[in-house]
């Protein structure tokens, strides 16, 4: 398992450290978002998220606007 740090920017920067879990059947990586992260970002099930490589070893997730 790997961990990553995610942050959102509003008035203050807030970050979460999440563990990437492995699906035992497929080997796919799974991120489970805590409710406070979902509340802070406004994300909900069915949203499409974009992974943005910050090219410093960090990644940013953003809701994709369609």
pLDDT of 14-30, one tens digit each?
788 888 999 999 999 99
Rounded to whole angstroms, the Cα distance separating 25 from 48 reads 24
**pTM assigned to the model:** 0.64
Q: Does residue 45 surpass a pLDDT of 70?
A: yes
Q: What is the mean pLDDT of the chain?
A: 84
Per-residue tokens: 28: 């796919």
Q: Which residues of 32-52 are buried (b: 16+ CB within 10 A; e: fewer)?
A: eeeeebeeebebeeeeeeeee
């Amino acid at each position: 398992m790997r961990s990553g740090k995610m942050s959102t920017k509003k008035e203050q920067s807030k970050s979460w450290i999440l563990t990437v879990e492995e699906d035992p059947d497929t080997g796919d990586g799974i991120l489970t978002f805590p409710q406070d992260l979902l509340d802070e970002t406004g994300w909900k099930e069915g949203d499409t998220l974009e992974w943005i490589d910050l090219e410093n070893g960090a990644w940013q997730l953003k809701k994709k606007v369609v």
